[in-house]
Amino acid sequence: MKKITALVLAALMLFALAACGNSSTPAGSAEAVDAVTPAEGDVFTVGVCQLVQHPALDAATQGFVDVLEETFGEGNVVVDVQNASGDSANCATICSGFVSEGVDLILANATPALQAAAAATNTIPVLGTSITEYGVALEIADFDGTVGTNVSGTSDLAPLDQQAAMVTELFPDAENVGILYCSGEPNSVYQADVVKAELEKAGLTVNVYTFADSNDVSSVAAQACDENDVLYIPTDNTAANCAEAINNVAQPAGVPIVAGEENLCAGCGVVTLSIDYYELGRTTGEMAVQILNGESNVSEMAIEYYPNPVKKYDAERCAALNVTVPDDFVAIEG
């Protein structure tokens, strides 16, 4: 009996030793997994849907990305920037993809991108940038400055009454002013309506011209130039993308353009009251940091605006059209 008991005990000891020996590999693997888990947990994934590639939107995206990488470090944030090539349907596809991937936050750069992101998710935080008027973009009646859902962001709206005043200040002899914009951009409609009312209060005759896309922009611009002394073009992504085509009509016709933002002005305008899109993007990035760190709830974040718009002019085009600007205007660089 004692021999049997001793044999059993020996067998149990050998089994225990074998079990301990075999456990070394899984234990090592578990430690390795544990070692990388915190790093993986610290990585934020952010999707960026940008409507179209042009300098203003590019600058806003870059400012946003720079803040995220400066704050978290390049290895701790993955930013997937996708361009919709000016197609709203592409915006919807891109945003749906971000939702399927389960990104931590979406940046929607321009109004169609914001509309697509808001339609794609009501849980993932969405920040807009380069959005003129959120109430118009999201069809919110009596908008009070806070969306109140999973959407917030920054606006690129410069004071429209001051933009209208630039027309009367620089072109006091003008009688007819044409407003030109893309009919597919609701924020352009909003800007045009406000500026039209301001110009009519100043006693000017205002004519509105809209184009559907790049295919008819030149013909519509030509008609506007034929019938007006000055043109006003609001912040409009399609117009900015077609600035060269507009300039090829307006400058030879001798018709100056007051533009809604700097990059549009550089492409076809003489003056603008503009914001810094890179800094606007950085402000949006700072909002994203607060959300990702759990410091702020997106539903409680008010829309932020660029605080100090600047009067700027295109020196070469002003000289070509004999437009003299006051001393408080700053030349557009480059």
Q: Characterize the bridge pairing of strands 271-274 and 304-305.
A: unpaired
Q: Are strands 310-313 and 304-305 parallel, antiparallel or unpaired?
A: unpaired
Q: Does residue 243 lie within any of the structural domains? A: yes
Residue 103 resides in a domain: yes
Give yes or no for a contact between 187 and 219, defined as CB atoms under 8 angstroms apart: no
Give a yes or no: residue 86 inside a domain: yes
| 212 in the same domain as 319 | yes
Task: Report the CATH number at residue 150.
Answer: 3.40.50.2300
Q: What pTM did the predictor assign?
A: 0.76
pLDDT tens, residue by residue, 197-217: 999 999 999 999 999 988 999
323 and 223, same structural domain?
A: yes
- Rounded-to-integer distance, Cα 199 and Cα 108, Å: 32
User: Which residue type, as a one-letter code, is found at position 28?
Assistant: G
Q: Which pLDDT score is estimated for 74?
A: 76
Query: Does residue 247 sit within a domain?
Result: yes
Amino acid at 183: S
Nearest to residue 266, comparing CAs of 55, 92, 59, 119? 55
Q: Is residue 24 part of a domain?
A: no
72 pLDDT above the threshold of 50: yes
Query: What region, left, alpha or beta, does residue 307 occupy, with left being phi > 0 and alpha being psi -120 to 50 degrees?
Result: alpha
Q: Are residues 178 and 267 in the same domain?
A: yes
Whether residue 214 is found in the same domain as residue 320: yes
Instruction: Report the range of poorest mean pLDDT among 2-6, 58-62, 79-83, 292-296.
Output: 2-6
pLDDT(292) > 70: yes
Q: Does residue 284 share a domain with residue 264?
A: no
Residue 270 lies in a domain: yes
Residues 113 and 170 in one domain: no
User: pLDDT tens digit string along 138-154?
Assistant: 999 999 999 999 999 99
pLDDT of residue 34: 25
Number of domains, the chain: 2
Closest CA to 249 of 271, 220, 214: 220
Residue with the bigger pLDDT between 199 and 237: it is 199
pLDDT of 28 above 50: no
CB atoms within 10 A of CB 185: 25
- Please tell me whether residues 100 and 248 are part of one structural domain: no
Closest CA to 182 of 276, 88, 81: 88
User: What mean pLDDT is predicted for residues 5-22?
Assistant: 39
Give tens-digit pLDDT for 143-189.
999 999 999 999 999 999 999 999 999 999 999 999 999 998 888 99
Residue-level pLDDT at 41:
53
Specify whether 224 is located in the same domain as 148.
no
Note whether 192 and 222 are same-domain residues. Answer: yes
Does one domain contain both 176 and 240? yes
Q: Is the pLDDT of residue 221 over 70?
A: yes
Within a domain: 117: yes
Same domain, 319 and 297: no
Helix (H, G, I), strand (E, B), or coil: what is residue 282?
helix
The confidence band for 111, taking pLDDT boundaries of 50, 70 and 90, is very high
Residue 84 dihedral angles phi and psi, to the nearest 5°? -90, 0
Return the SS3 of 278: helix
Q: Which amino acid is at 57?
A: L
Q: Which of 144, 150, 143 is nearest to 128 (CA)?
A: 150
Q: Residues near 331 by Cβ (< 8 Å), separated by ≥ 6?
A: 312, 313, 314, 315
Number of Cβ within 10 Å of residue 178's Cβ equals 25
What is the rounded (10 degree) CA torsion for 141, 138, 220, 319? 90
In terms of Cα–Cα distance, which of 105, 106, 100 is closest to 49? Answer: 106
Q: Which domain holds residue 60?
A: 42-156+276-302
Do the strands 176-182 and 126-131 form a parallel or antiparallel pair, or are they unpaired?
unpaired
- Confirm whether 87 is domain-assigned: yes
Residues 98 and 113 in one domain: yes
> Which residues are 271's β-sheet partners?
258, 313
pLDDT of 2 higher than 90? no
